């Protein structure tokens, strides 16, 4: 099906002004002014005039528990798996699936099957090998083989550090498997990156600094997530960005994520190194001072869109700047931007969210399919 979206204000995230967008199959054929609609009609295509809409890249959620998570309070606290519809309805067109605390009753084969399931529904879906605990769990028995041989696997994660649920792995162990992931990425043309779960332990980002201190491992291969867990952890994350040029990932919270992002932006810290993810479908556990579980609930998947809207409506950021942590930044970290994910470009994957002027969703196109 060929579809022409006319008269939309395009953000790639860079603002392009009023343009027409021509989509065929799963790709964007053209972004230009006044594309001739008569030719489209003659080919039995459809033409949609969206004069009052914005066109922005579909959101990239780099931390999703597609098959659920949880379990810290026993079997009855396992969170359920999700559906592609949940993500598409809130403007997310690309997800990176991973395992959480429970790497025993949940495994990578189930995660791979789920990734392929949501791919069939039009979602761009990838996944990470490895697990919370060390030694890392895999499908083939080796993280390099997983990354090289399985198309959906693009890196390792989430591996827990500085957390009472982690294996207290050393910086040398972290460096060793991160370098294996990097080489596997080189061999397969993938990112080969590592997502690191940060808890509230005293070491904080120390293992990352030590693992990259001799210069053999680039800081851009590692991304610490849940970086807003504490003020001190966020402060170290800002230093990781500023002094090391690394990326950090903020777990979206509709109450304060927009405030954190606005502060980072106005302090002129490298905004191109800031990513936001939902931790969607995983668990949000609460522990007391003795590390006993006192509460747990599943993480929502709509916090990216809610944070994006607040960043504009309450903090006053321009649309193009507000888009970056939700689109192009995670796409670049996971090496997906060249294929058009997290951006809008001629020849790229057609994953587009059309927004009303009040930033509510009008249409969602994923992999060239009009799904919402």
Question: Residues 148-178: pLDDT tens digits?
Answer: 999 999 999 999 999 988 899 999 999 999 9
Query: End-to-end distance of the chain based on CA atoms, in angstroms?
Result: 16
Give residues with Cβ within 8 angstroms of 268, minimum separation 6: none
User: Cα dihedral angle (202, 208, 212, 214), rounded to 10 degrees?
Assistant: 20
What does the alpha-carbon distance between residue 100 and residue 209 come to, in Å, rounded to a whole number?
Answer: 24
The neighbouring-strand residues paired with 40 are none
Active site amino acids: 279
pLDDT for position 296: 74
Q: Given pLDDT bands bounded at 50, 70 and 90, which one contains residue 305?
A: very high
CATH number 2.30.40.10 given to 2-56+343-370:
yes
Long-range contacts of residues 174-180, Cβ cutoff 8 Å, at least 24 apart: 174/207, 174/208, 174/211, 175/210, 175/211, 175/212, 175/216, 175/217, 177/130, 177/136, 177/143, 178/211, 178/217, 178/221, 178/222, 179/216, 179/217, 180/143, 180/144
What does the alpha-carbon distance between residue 172 and residue 308 come to, in Å, rounded to a whole number?
Answer: 37
> Is the predicted pLDDT of residue 284 greater than 80, yes or no?
no
pLDDT for position 283: 79
- Phi and psi for 260 in degrees, rounded to 5? -65, -45
Q: What is the mean pLDDT of residues 355-370?
A: 97
Buried (b) or exposed (e) across 82-102, using 16+ Cβ within 10 A? Answer: bbbebbbbbbbbbbbbbbbbb
Q: Given pLDDT bands bounded at 50, 70 and 90, which one contains residue 356?
A: very high
pLDDT for position 46: 94
Long-range contacts of residues 141-146, Cβ cutoff 8 Å, at least 24 apart: 143/177, 143/180, 143/181, 143/184, 144/180, 144/181, 144/183, 144/184, 144/187, 145/184, 146/108, 146/184
Q: What is the mean pLDDT of residues 223-242?
A: 97
Q: What is the mean pLDDT of residues 16-30?
A: 97
Cβ burial, residue 174 (10 Å; 0-12/13-18/19+): buried
Tokens 């990176």 correspond to what residue? 96
CB of 107 within 8 A of CB of 137? yes
CA distance readout (Å), 52 to 49, 216, 316: 9, 50, 20
Lowest average pLDDT, out of 177-181, 263-267, 292-296, 323-327, goes to: 292-296
CA distance readout (Å), 18 to 10, 24, 342: 6, 20, 20
- CATH 2.30.40.10 residue ranges in the chain? 2-56+343-370
Annotated binding site for substrate: 70-72, 101, 132, 165, 229, 283
Q: What is the mean pLDDT of residues 194-221?
A: 96
Pick the CATH number of 59-337 from 2.40.50.140, 3.40.630.30, 3.40.190.290, 3.20.20.140: 3.20.20.140
What percent of the chain stands above pLDDT 70?
Answer: 100
> Is the predicted pLDDT of residue 290 greater than 90, yes or no?
no
What does the alpha-carbon distance between residue 19 and residue 356 come to, in Å, rounded to a whole number?
Answer: 16
DSSP states of 194-208 as a string?
EEEEE-S-TTTTHHH
pLDDT of 50-106, one tens digit each?
998 999 999 999 999 999 987 778 888 888 899 999 999 999 999 999 999 899 999
- Sign, CA torsion 322/323/326/329: negative
pLDDT for position 287: 76
Q: What is the mean pLDDT of residues 249-270?
A: 97
- Phi and psi for 353 in degrees, rounded to 5? -110, 125
Q: Given pLDDT bands bounded at 50, 70 and 90, which one contains residue 367?
A: very high
Lowest average pLDDT, out of 15-24, 218-227, 243-252, 284-293, goes to: 284-293
pLDDT for position 155: 98
What does the alpha-carbon distance between residue 271 and residue 233 come to, in Å, rounded to a whole number?
Answer: 18
pLDDT for position 72: 78
- CATH 3.20.20.140 residue ranges in the chain? 59-337
Strand spans (E) along the chain: 2-11, 15-24, 27-32, 46-49, 54-57, 59-64, 92-97, 124-129, 153-161, 193-198, 222-225, 248-251, 274-277, 286-287, 293-295, 352-355, 361-366, 369-370
What percent of the chain stands above pLDDT 90?
Answer: 89
> Is the predicted pLDDT of residue 291 greater than 80, yes or no?
no
Annotated binding site: 63, 65, 70-72, 101, 132, 165, 197, 226, 229, 279, 283
pLDDT for position 225: 97
pLDDT for position 77: 86
What does the chain come to in residues? 372
Q: What is the mean pLDDT of residues 216-239?
A: 97
pLDDT of 234-250, one tens digit each?
999 999 999 999 999 99
Annotated binding site for Zn(2+): 63, 65, 197, 226, 279
């Amino acid at each position: 099906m060929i579809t022409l979206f006319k008269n939309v204000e395009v953000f790639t995230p860079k603002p392009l002004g009023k343009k027409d967008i021509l989509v065929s199959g799963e790709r964007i054929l053209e972004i230009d002014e006044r594309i001739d609609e008569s030719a489209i009609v003659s080919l039995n295509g459809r033409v949609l005039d969206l004069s009052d809409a914005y066109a922005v890249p579909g959101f990239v959620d780099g931390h999703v528990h597609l098959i659920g998570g949880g379990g810290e309070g026993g079997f009855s606290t396992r969170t359920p798996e999700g559906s592609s519809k949940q993500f598409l309805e809130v403007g997310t067109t690309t997800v990176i699936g991973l395992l959480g605390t429970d790497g025993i009753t949940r495994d990578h084969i189930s995660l791979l099957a789920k990734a392929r399931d949501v791919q069939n529904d039009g979602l761009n879906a990838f996944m990470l090998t490895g697990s919370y605990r060390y030694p890392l769990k895999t499908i083939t028995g080796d993280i390099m083989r997983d990354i090289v041989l399985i198309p959906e696997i693009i890196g390792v994660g989430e591996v827990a550090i500085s957390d009472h649920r982690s294996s207290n792995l050393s910086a040398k162990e972290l460096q060793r498997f991160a370098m294996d992931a990097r080489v596997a990425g080189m061999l397969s043309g993938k990112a080969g990156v590592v997502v690191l779960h940060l808890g509230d332990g005293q070491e904080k980002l120390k293992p990352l600094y030590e693992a990259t201190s001799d210069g053999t491992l680039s800081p851009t291969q590692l991304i610490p997530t849940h970086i807003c867990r504490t003020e001190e952890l966020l402060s170290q994350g800002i230093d990781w960005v500023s002094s090391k040029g690394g990326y950090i990932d903020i777990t979206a919270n509709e109450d304060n994520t927009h405030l954190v992002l606005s502060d980072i932006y106005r302090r002129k810290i490298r905004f191109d190194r800031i990513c936001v993810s939902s931790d969607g479908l995983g668990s949000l556990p609460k522990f007391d001072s003795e590390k006993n579980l006192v509460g747990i609930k599943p993480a929502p998947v709509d916090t990216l869109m809610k944070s994006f809207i607040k960043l504009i409506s309450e903090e006053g950021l321009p649309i193009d700047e507000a888009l970056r942590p939700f689109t192009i930044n995670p796409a670049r970290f996971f090496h997906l931007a060249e294929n058009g994910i997290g951006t809008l470009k001629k020849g790229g994957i057609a994953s587009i969210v059309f927004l009303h002027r009040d930033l509510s969703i009008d249409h969602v196109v994923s992999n060239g399919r009009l799904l919402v």
